[in-house]
Amino acid sequence: MVTAAPRLGAGWSALGTLYGNLGKSDKARKALEQAFTLDPKPPLPQLALARAHADLQDWKAADATAQALMARDPKHTYVEAHFLDAIALYRSHDFDNALARIHEAIQFDTLREVTRAEYVQGLILEAKGDYECAGRHLQAYVTQHPRAKDAAKARERLANLGKEPLADLASELTPQDMRVAAAGDARGGSKACSLLAVHLRSGMS
């Protein structure tokens, strides 16, 4: 399609999505960048581009792309952008904004699709030194998702709070796993801990 219509953004977007599904993140990013250049209006290619940046652990680009999408999504349709940005900020050691962002992902996720948000929130709280709240969120995650691919890592982390470096989510999860997966599970967690993120939101840029 891109050979026959090289100026068609939708064609490049479809190609980039295909590459992303095949795990070819570098090729996916190049195709999606071309799609966005040709037609910056559709939001889905922008979300897919944020995914590709995250898959490649280009956290600065993932953060910038996710934030650009969130800025034009007042109805919070693309909850995954908040989730990806939380991971990017966590990996960039911006823990306050990462915590606020993962709280947004949980708040806006009315369909309960972001099943790993509880885990990521626990990781961020651990990085901030709040081991009590971190433990509650990690425990809630492994209790609700005992068969998740990263459940063993979450249990190990729970047993060694504050003793390990930042979690390398890219090695724990495949690019597909890091994305929003439909699930009807409800998440628990400490409301008191979540209130920390509420106060941070007012100071976010």
Identify the pLDDT of residue 3.
61
Q: Are residues 172 and 118 in the same domain?
A: yes
CB contact at 8 A, 168 and 73? no
pLDDT tens-digit map of 82-110:
999 999 999 999 999 999 999 999 999 99
Q: Helices (DSSP H) in the chain: which residue ranges?
A: 9-21, 25-38, 43-55, 59-71, 79-91, 95-108, 117-127, 131-144, 151-159, 169-172, 191-201
pLDDT tens-digit map of 121-159:
999 999 999 999 999 999 999 999 999 888 999 999 999
CB contact at 8 A, 50 and 81? yes
pLDDT category, 199, cuts 50, 70, 90? very low
Where is the domain boundary, 44, 75, 106?
75
Q: Are residues 15 and 42 in the same domain?
A: yes
Q: Are residues 68 and 97 in the same domain?
A: no
Please classify residue 159 by burial: count the beta carbons closer than 10 Å to its beta carbon, then call 0-12 exposed, 13-18 middle and 19+ buried. Answer: exposed
Token digits of residue 130 = 């709040």
Where is the domain boundary, 56, 75, 94?
75
Which range marks the domain in which residue 48 is found? Answer: 1-75
**Residue 94 is part of a domain; what is its CATH number?**
1.25.40
CB contact at 8 A, 16 and 31? yes
Where is the domain boundary, 43, 75, 107?
75
Q: Are residues 83 and 171 in the same domain?
A: yes
Q: Is the pLDDT of residue 38 over 90?
A: yes
